[in-house]
Amino acid sequence: MPSSWRHVATVFSWHRSKGDSPVGSSCGLAQRYRRFAETAAGESPMSARVATALSESDDALDALAGMPARKRNPAMILAALHDLALAGRAPRLAAAHASLDGPAAARVAVEVLVRMSDEIVAGTVHRRVHANETGRCAVLYPAIAEAARRAGAEAVGLIDVGCGAALNLTVDRVGLTYSNGQRLGDDASIVQMEASIVGERRLPARALPHVTTRIGIDTDPIYVTDPVDARWLRACISPEHPDRIAQLETEMTLLATEPPDLLHGDTLDVLPDALARVPASALPVITTTWSLAKLLLESRWRFLRGLDEIAAHRPMVWVSVEGVGVAPTVPTFGDRHASGHSIIGVSILDGASRQTEAVGRCWSRGRLLSWLAEA
C-alpha cells in the first residue's frame, strides 16, 4: 500500500458515496473519521488513533464542522497537524510523533486541533494531500522508453500534467531494480527504487533517450526548493514511516539539483507554452499519473481533444497511468472499473492519427507492475 494518507482518504471517499451521514453534521463527521481510522489502522496505527480521538471529541468535531468542507477530510487534517508539528508550532505533538507514542499523539492532536483550528484552515487554503513518491518512476521509465521507441525519437521533452512536486520528472535520473533481476536507469543515482514484477514477461530493456526539457503543469505546483512547500510534502507522510520520509528527502534533493520548469494553471491553457519550450529536435512526452481521476469525465475528454488538436501541428506521445477506465480511449483488458489497479497506456499522436495501447497493469502506485505489451 502507498505510504501517504491520500490513498486511505480515497478509499474512505468511496465508502462515503455509499450512504454515509451528511459530513456537515457532527454525527456525519464522527462517522467519517471512524471509517478513516478503520481503513488506516493497518498502514498507520497512529493515524487511526488520532482519527478515532477526533471522532470521539465534541470539541474537535465542532472545530471541524466550522472548517470549509474541502479542508476537513481526515487526510488533510492529519497532514495539517503533522505540518504544525514539523514547523515547531505544536511541540508536544512533535514529541509524540518522534517517540511514536500513538496514545499521546491522539490526546495532543485533539487539543491542537481545537486550539489552532484557524491556523489549520489558513495553512491548508491552497494545499492538497500529495502522494509524491517516485515509486511511479518504476512504471514510467519502461513506458516512456517504449513510447519513444515507437515514435522513433532520439530525444524527448518531458511534460508532467498534474505534477504536484514534479518528482516524476527525475524518471531518467533514478536507479530502478525490479524483482525479476532487471535494472534500469542510473545505477549511480542517489535515489534508488525497487519494484516487484507480476508475471513472466520482462520489461523492455531500452534506456530512455536524452531528456532535453522537464516541465511540470499544475494548478498549485509544489516547489521542493521552498522550505514551506517541502515541509508540507513531508507532512503528507505519516510520522510512523521515517524511512519513507528519508526517501522523500533524497528525492527532493535530486530534483533540486536540476529544477524543472513549473507552469501554473489549467493544463490546456498552459500546454502550448510547455510545448514551445521543447526543442523541435525532441519528442514531447506528456505524462499523467493518477491526475485525470481528479477530473470529471467531460474534462478528461476535453483534455484528450486538446492533445489531438495540438498533435495536428506537432507529433507527441501521451503516457498514462490511471485507474481502470479513467483515461479516455486507453483499453482496459476488460478489467472492471474501481478494481484496485491501474492501466499503463501509451498513445502516439501524429496529425489526425492516434495509436493507443495498454501496455501493462500496476498496483500500489507503481511499486508492483505487470508488463503485457509485446516486445
| Mean pLDDT, residues 111-128 | 92
Q: Would you say residue 335 has pLDDT above 60?
A: yes
By CB neighbour count within 10 A (0-12 exposed, 13-18 middle, 19+ buried), where does 111 fall?
A: middle
Beta strands (DSSP E) in the chain are: 155-161, 175-178, 183-185, 192-197, 210-218, 261-264, 283-289, 316-323, 342-350, 353-363, 368-371
Mean pLDDT (whole number) for 57-84: 94
- pLDDT of 160-187, one tens digit each? 999 999 999 999 999 999 999 999 999 9
Mean pLDDT, all residues of the chain: 90
Per-residue pLDDT tens over the stretch 136-162: 899 999 999 999 999 999 999 999 999
Please state, in angstroms and as integers, the Cα–Cα distance from residue 118 to each residue in 30, 115, 125, 128, 250, following that order. Answer: 20, 8, 11, 17, 33
Q: Could you tell me which residue, 163 or 338, shows the higher pLDDT?
A: 163
At residue 368, the pLDDT reads 94
Which residue(s) pair with 322 in the sheet? 343
DSSP, collapsed to helix, strand or coil, labels residue 215 as strand
Check residue 316 and give its pLDDT: 96
The pLDDT of residue 8 is above 80: no
Task: Give the dihedral of Cα atoms 332, 337, 343, 345; nearest 10 deg.
Answer: 60
Alpha helices in 87-132 (DSSP H): 91-98, 102-115, 117-123
And the C-alpha cell for 256?
A: 533540486
| pLDDT at position 23 | 42
The number of residues in the chain equals: 375
**pLDDT tens-digit readout, 234-260:** 999 999 999 889 999 999 999 999 999
pTM: 0.88
CA–CA separation, 108 vs 102, rounded Å?
10
Cα separation, 280 vs 11, in Å, equals 43
Average pLDDT over residues 105-130: 93
Tell me the CA distances in angstroms from 136 to 86, 105, 120, 125, 367, one per residue in order: 26, 31, 30, 27, 7
Q: How far apart are CA 28 and CA 369, in angstroms?
A: 37
pLDDT at 27: 83
Residue 246 CB neighbour total at 10 angstroms = 12
